[in-house]
A and B are shown apart, each in its own frame.
Chain A
Amino acid sequence: MDFLRPLTWEQALAYKAERPEATPIQGGTDVMVEINLDKGRPAALIDLNPVAELTLWSTAGPEIRVGSGVTYTRLIAELGALLPGLAQASRTVGSPQIRNRGTVAGNLGAASPAGDAHPPLLASGAIVEAESVRGTRMIPIAEFYTGVKRHALEPDELIRAVRIPAATGPQYFSKIGTRNAMVIAVCSFAVALHPGERRVGTGIGSAAPTPRHAAEAEEFVAAELDWEGRSPLDPGVARRFGELVAGAAAPIDDVRGRADYRLHSLAVMARRTLGWAWNDYAGRGTA
Chain B
Amino acid sequence: MRVNISVNGETMAADDVWEGESLLYVLRERLGLPGAKNACEQGECGSCTVYLDGTPVCACLVAAGQAEGRDVITVEGLASGGELDEVQRSFVEAGAVQCGFCTPGLIVQAHSLIESTPGVPEDADIREALAGNLCRCTGYEKILDAVRLAATRKHQP
Contacts and interface: CB of A to CB of B under 8 A. Distances in A.
A80 to B, nearest CB: 15
B61 A27 contact: yes
Contacts of A25: 63, 66
A1 interface: yes
Contact of A1 (B19, B22, B62, B68): B19
Interface string A224-239: 0000000000000000
A33 interface: yes
Nearest to A42: B20
B43 A96 contact: no
Contacts of B63: 3, 25, 28, 31-32, 35, 45, 47
A181 B132 contact: yes
A100 B43 contact: no
Interface string A129-170: 000000000000000000000000000000000000000000
Contact of A181 (B41, B57, B60, B131): B131
Interface string A4-33: 010000000000000000000101110111
A29 B61 contact: yes
Contact of A97 (B41, B43, B68, B128): B43
Contacts of B66: 25, 28, 47, 49
A45 B61 contact: no
Contact of B20 (A27, A41, A94, A95): A41
A24 B132 CA distance: 25
A209 B143 CA distance: 41
A33 B132 contact: no
A255 interface: no
B20 A28 contact: no
A287 interface: no
B43 A94 contact: yes
Question: How big is the A interface, by class?
Answer: 20 to 34
B114 interface: no
Contacts of B128: 96, 181
A98 B133 CA distance: 11
Question: How big is the B interface, by class?
Answer: 20 to 34
B57 A101 contact: yes
Interface in B47-72: 49, 55-58, 60-63, 65-66, 68
Interface string A38-50: 0001101101010
Interface centre among A1, A31, A36, A100 (most CB of B within 10 A): A36
Interface string B127-152: 01101110000000000000000000
B109 interface: yes
B62 A96 contact: no
A182 B46 CA distance: 11
Interface in A69-102: 73, 94-98, 100-101
Interface string A178-222: 001110000000000000000000000000000000000000000
B42 interface: yes
5 contacts: A37-B42, A47-B65, A100-B56, A181-B132, A182-B44
Interface of A: 1-3, 5, 25, 27-29, 31-33, 35-37, 41-42, 44-45, 47, 49, 73, 94-98, 100-101, 180-182
Given A32-B60, A100-B56, 9 more contacts: A28-B66, A33-B61, A36-B60, A47-B65, A95-B46, A97-B43, A97-B49, A101-B62, A181-B132
